Each structure stands twice: as C-alpha cells, then as structure tokens.
Amino acid sequence: MIKPILPALIFILGAIPIPFLKGKLKQFYLLLVPVLALIDLYSLGVGTQWGIPFLGYELIFLKVDRLSLIIGYIFVLIGFLALLYSLHVKEDLQHIAAFLYMASSLGVVFSGDYFSLFVFWEIMAVTSVFLVWSQREKASLDAGFRYLLMHILGGCCLLTGIIIQVIETGTVALTPPMNGWASLLILIGFGLNTAFIPLHTWLPDAYPEGTVVGSVFLSVFTTKTGVYTLARCFSGNEILAYMGGIMAIYGVIFALLQNDIRRLISYHIVSQVGYMVAGVGVGTELGVNGGIAHVFNHILYKALLFMCTGSILYMSGKRKLTELGGLARMMPVTCITCVIASLSISGVPGFNGFVSKGMVIGSATESQKPFLELMLTLASVGTFLSFTKLCYFTFFKRNDEIKAKESPLNMQVAMILTASLCILFGVFPQILFHVLPYTPVGYHPYTFFHVIGVAQLFLVAGFVFFKARSAFSPHPWIILDFDYLYRKAFQAIAWFCRKPLNDFRLSIQALFSKAVGYIASLSRNPFSPKGGDYNENIYRNPMGLGVLLAILFLFLYGLIYLVRL
C-alpha cells in the first residue's frame, strides 16, 4: 500500500516542472497531478495525523477527519475540471499560481494547528492575486492590489488573535478560541475570507477582473476555506447564523442590480456563502451537514458559471448584459450548461443546489429561527430572478450585432462534465450524504410538499419576471457598495496626511532647522552668543567646540562618579 503524503505537497512539487513542459505532454501533466492528489486523498483514513515538533509546540500539517476530507475531495475534483478548462492557456504563470493556490487551500484544510494554518492562509492570498494580475490590465492590477491589502488586513487580525490564543492556552492546536479578544480577531480574520458584510467588497471587485481561467479558480477556494475554518472553530455561533442570512439577502440584491455578468455571479458568491455560514451558525448536525453540502454543491455550479461567463468573454469579448444577447444559437454548449448552472444555484428540484439549500433552510426551521428561514427563502427567490435575467439577456434576447462561436473543445468538455455533476448530485444526493461530516444524514430532500412548495415559488417568480421584464432590464449604472465608504475614508486619511499633518511636520521641521542653524553657527564661533561666520583665526583658537564638549562630558562623568560614591 502506498503511504499517503500531504495533499498540498503534491501540488507544490507539481508546480516545479510546469515551465519545462510543452504541448500535449504539458496538458497531460496538468491533469495527472490532481488525479494523483485524488488517489492520495482516497488513501487517507479518518484519524490520520502527521506533525513535527517546533519550538516547544507541535505543528500538525496533516489531520484528517470527515470535515477536512470532504472539502479536500471537492477541492481536488474541481481543480481537475478547472485545469481541464484551462488547457488552452499557454502562460505558465497562471498554471503555477493555480497549483500553489490549490496547494495552500489544501494546506489550510488539513492543518491541525493555528501556525501552519496561518502560513498556508497567507500563501493562499499571495498566490491567488496573480490570477487577477495575469489579466495585465489597469483595472485588474488595481483590483489585485486592493484584494491584497484587504487580505493583509485580515491576516493581521488573524495573526493577532492566534498569538493571544496561544498565550492563553499554551498550545497551537486548532481548537475553538476561548479568550474574547482572540475569538473576535480570529473570527474577523476568517470572516474577511468568507466575505462577511461589510468585509466582502474585495470579492466582487477582484473576481470579475481575473483572467478567464483565473476567475474559475478564484471562485472555488478562498471563501470555502473560510467556511471550513468557521465550521472547525465557530460552529453553533448564533451570530454567524444571522450573518449568513444577511449575506444571502445582500448578495442577491446587489446581483440583481448588476450589468457585468461576472460581477453579477461574484455577488452571488457572497449570497451563496451566506447559506453555508447560516448552516454552520445554526450548528446542529443538519445545519453543519447542510452548510458543508452547500460548499460542495456551490463549488460545482459556481465554477461552472464562471466557466460559462469566461467562455462568453473569451469568444465574444463582451461581459455586459447590455452588449449581449442571441448567443444561444452561436454557443449552444455554453448556453445549455449555463442554464443548468443557473437552475442549480437557484435550487430547482433535480439539481444539486435544491438538496443543500433545503438542508440549510430545514435546519433553520428545525432550530426555530423563522426570521432566518424567511431571509434564506427570499434569497432563493432573488437568486432565481437574477439568473433568469442573466440567461435571458445573455442567450435569448435578440441581438443581431454580436458575433461569436463556441469555445475551444477543452472548455466545452469541462463545462459538460461539471454540469453533469450538478445533475448527478441533485438526482442522487445519497452519494454526497455518505461523505458529509455527520452520518447518517436523516434528511429526505424530495418530499412531496418540499418539491411542490419550491416549484410554486419559482413559477410565481418566473411569471413576475416575464410580466415585469422591463423592470429587470440591465442598465449601465455604477452600483456603489461599502467599498465607496472605504475609499472615502482612505481619501480623508490621505488628505489629513497631505495637509494638516504635513503642515505640522513642516512647522516642526522649520523649528528644528532654526535650532540646528543656531547650533551650527555657535560651533563656528563659540565666543559669540549669536555665532558668526567662519574665519581662520577663530578656527585656530584653542578653545574650539570639540574641546568644549570634551570638558562638558568629563564634568558630567565626574559628577556621576561622585554621586555613585
């Protein structure tokens, strides 16, 4: 039997040969590495642990339980599909960044201590930003820097919380924080990656500016590692439950207002992650199972949505709904798979989102949280409306001016396989139930009343959309989010630094300049209280400044010596 190794190490080592490979060999290699990682994951048994002693602590780089294993499975599975989608890309930087990004995400998932988790956490932020910068446009460069600054802020909060936690407990083991400040700071650190409101603005700012394939990877890992860490350390926190509800509603509202298709689905990451956070916050077995099941399902349909919108952008050069339309006959594979992804994210019966959304909403009902249940249900309706809008104005609205054709074969195959998995886990949810953290699951999604209730809800929403279609028509508006407040605040800080603070600095500098000028003048002529210009006679006077200072220092030394006696 092959001895299992760190899943992250497979991708780290796997990134090294990429620049030296070419053509078909390179494409084969890119797909081989995630297959090897999947085999390695399959060989890992629950309870497997490996670590090393370091400065009196034990660093655990591999700790396997059912929670880490299911996240590891979906990360590697979607990594394979995303790499298949990216085979046509010639730039090595994107492939290397994607490998290291996947490696660091797996490193977080299988870390058993705060120190190793933090190291992988920061690597994840640094490597992922290159998938934005690789677009090499001003908008992507600016968005990448803002993305990095936000994650540095989150990393600082996380590190501070970890230090307090270690001081309080004397251990680096990854356990729920007990100290109030440690708990708050660690929660902020995790919450920024999870896109808590109002810390979410980095996501819809950066993800739409990534490369066509880079945004597929970005949609998968960062927010989901955040949900994983919340499930690991903050399960059952009621604040999380209602934060999840707020995220679900907030993301849907802003998605409905968008004209940019990639920005629209980026806001839906915020919304869909809200369901996961709500499930974790409810904290029951059904809630946690539902939240993690939604992580699994969301990764599939959200990656598929970014594949479809990336295909549209790659082949048509358009990304705004006001510029699109009529692509159904030009790009049939993209159209069909995008419709499947839209039905999946909306939670339509027969697709994977229906199962996991039902579990999360059911956990809110079971825990007697009617307001949370209402928020999540309304968010589902809003999701259906926004993706009806996306599909209609992208594929079915008439547009005789647009020109496009179907995307390359590798992109089509990746989209078809991912869409097939969305249907598979929707029709046969038991496959997913077998690997959830708590078994047996004891949830039956296809009850008569549940199916009929959801169907009625979406039929009414669809009727409203087509009757009031003009109200949902895309508009070239600039939609302001919380980042407007951030930018205004930083502009105020910049103004304060440029004007009042700089004026104060100049006044202090002028004061010191006068003092230094006086001392310099005195050094030129110590006999004159006002000093004087240098001349040769004064310079040759035996009583110079150096002698004067030497006498003063000797006097002080003698005085100190006498006091000590």
3-state secondary structure 125-194: HHHHHHHHHCCCCHHHHHHHHHHHHHHHHHHHHHHHHHHHHHHHHCCCECCCCCCHHHHHHHHHHHHHHC
3-class secondary structure, 549: helix
Give phi and psi for 59, each to the nearest 5. -90, 120
Element (H, E) at 62: strand 57-63
Q: What is the mean pLDDT of the chain?
A: 89
State pLDDT tens for residues 51-80.
Answer: 888 888 889 999 999 999 999 999 999 999
**Which residues fall within 8 angstroms of residue 198, CB to CB, at 6 or more apart?**
482, 485
Among candidates 74, 82, 112, 323, which has minimal Cα distance to 214?
82
**Which residues fall within 8 angstroms of residue 190, CB to CB, at 6 or more apart?**
158, 226, 229, 230, 233, 234
Residue 144: per-residue pLDDT: 93
Angle, alpha carbons 482-488-494 (nearest 5°): 140
Residue 530: per-residue pLDDT: 52
Which pair of tokens denotes residue 446?
A: 């296809």
**Which residues fall within 8 angstroms of residue 135, CB to CB, at 6 or more apart?**
209, 210, 211, 214
Among candidates 345, 384, 353, which has minimal Cα distance to 256?
384
Question: What does the alpha-carbon distance between residue 554 and residue 320 come to, in Å, rounded to a whole number?
Answer: 79
Give phi and psi for 271, each to the nearest 5. -65, -50
Q: What residue spans of 213-282 are helical by DSSP H?
A: 214-218, 222-233, 238-256, 261-282
Q: Extract the residue ranges of the chain whose pLDDT is less than 50.
A: 1, 531, 534, 536, 538-543
Among candidates 383, 395, 333, 374, which has minimal Cα distance to 354?
383
Task: Identify the burial level of 160 via C-beta atoms within 10 angstroms of its C-beta, where 0-12 means exposed, 13-18 middle and 19 or more buried.
Answer: middle
Question: What does the alpha-carbon distance between residue 242 and residue 197 come to, in Å, rounded to a whole number?
Answer: 11
N- to C-terminal Cα distance for the chain?
Answer: 79
Task: Identify the burial level of 169 via C-beta atoms within 10 angstroms of its C-beta, where 0-12 means exposed, 13-18 middle and 19 or more buried.
Answer: middle
Residue 311: per-residue pLDDT: 95
Which pair of tokens denotes residue 160?
A: 């501070």
Among candidates 142, 248, 123, 141, which has minimal Cα distance to 194?
248
Question: What does the alpha-carbon distance between residue 155 and residue 160 come to, in Å, rounded to a whole number?
Answer: 9
The CA–CA distances, whole Å, from 406 to 144, 324, 412, 424 equal 30, 15, 8, 25
Residue 505: per-residue pLDDT: 79
Task: Identify the burial level of 461 via C-beta atoms within 10 angstroms of its C-beta, where 0-12 means exposed, 13-18 middle and 19 or more buried.
Answer: middle
Question: What does the alpha-carbon distance between residue 391 and residue 328 come to, in Å, rounded to a whole number?
Answer: 9
- Check: CB of residue 252 under 8 Å from CB of residue 269: no
pTM over 0.85: yes
DSSP for 397-430, written as a single string: S--SS----PPPHHHHHHHHHHHHHHHHHHH-TH
**Residue that has been written with the tokens 């790659």 in this structure:** 314
Q: What is the 3-state secondary structure (H, E, C) of 267-304?
A: HHHHHHHHHHHHHHHHCCHHHHHHHHHHHHHHHHHHHH
DSSP for 314-367, written as a single string: HHH---BGGG----TTTSHHHHHHHHHHHHHHHT-TTSHHHHHHHHHHHHHHHT
- Check: CB of residue 290 under 8 Å from CB of residue 222: no
